[in-house]
Amino acid sequence: MTGTGKFFVGGNWKCNGTTESIKKLVGELNDGKFEESVEVVVAPPFLYIGQVIGSLTDRIAVSAQNSWVGKGGAFTGEISADQLVDAGVKWVIQGHSERRHVIGESNETIGKKSAYALSKGLGVIACVGEKLEERESNRTTDVVFEQLQAYADAISDWSNVVIAYEPVWAIGTGKVASPEQAQEVHAAIRSWLGDKISPDLASATRIIYGGSVNGANCAELAKKEDIDGFLVGGASLKGPEFVTICNAVISKKASA
């Protein structure tokens, strides 16, 4: 079974950028020549979302990096999906390993946050992935399926969900899962979706890879049948390189 959805590339800027550096990056993205057959999204820090939406080409949608579990109120430091929609944001990243393992969010919390964001019309980039010790003890699929189940327990409509497989040991480390390693997990995720949700959903859902993706390795990764795009960290802060990664869809089509 292979994916049928449009190639999808997200740029997660994480906690990086200044007014000036983001102005430069947006300029580079506005000048970029993107293949028509790729959906492109960038996720600036909350502080700069207004600046980015006000200056970025309509060709690229804007995502938030996180959102609160419900609507607004007395939740100091949080931002609700309602506010993101009001600001023109189209997507939100949920369950990123840094939220799980640095901030301490549970699978259950991530599922609830995702469901609330979806209920407000946001698309959700739902992250899953194992730590190095979990991979070394052959628990990769156990961990990933447990994380997927927490999303499934909360989400009823998956049509606006993109799943991002991000092995924690490959994020920001320079270590990349080999195309074969990534394909193996992506195929397992698609099979899980087919078994637990529906075969139609399994083929329609984009499953993207994240973890030290760059201009040099994106083409080989894109050739794998179950890799439907990327969630890019550090390389998304370099406009021309990010455009190259988005256009890896050419390799995808060539190998189809």
Q: Report the catalytic residues.
A: 96, 166
What's the 3-state SS for 10-76? EEECCCCCCHHHHHHHHHHHHHCCCCCCEEEEEECCHHHHHHHHHHCCCCEEEEECCCCCCCCCCCC
Q: How far is CA 83 from CA 50, 105, 198, 214, 252, in A?
A: 12, 21, 32, 32, 36
* Cβ atoms 171, 128 nearer than 8 A: no
What dihedral do alpha carbons 31, 166, 155, 147 form, nearest 10°? -170
* Beta strand residue intervals within 114-224, DSSP E: 123-128, 161-165, 207-210
Residue type, 108: E
CA distance 148 to 151: 5
Q: CB atoms < 10 A from the CB of 145, how many? A: 17
- The SS3 of residue 201 is helix
SS3 content of the chain, % helix, strand, coil (to 5): 45, 15, 40
Q: CB atoms < 10 A from the CB of 173, how many? A: 12
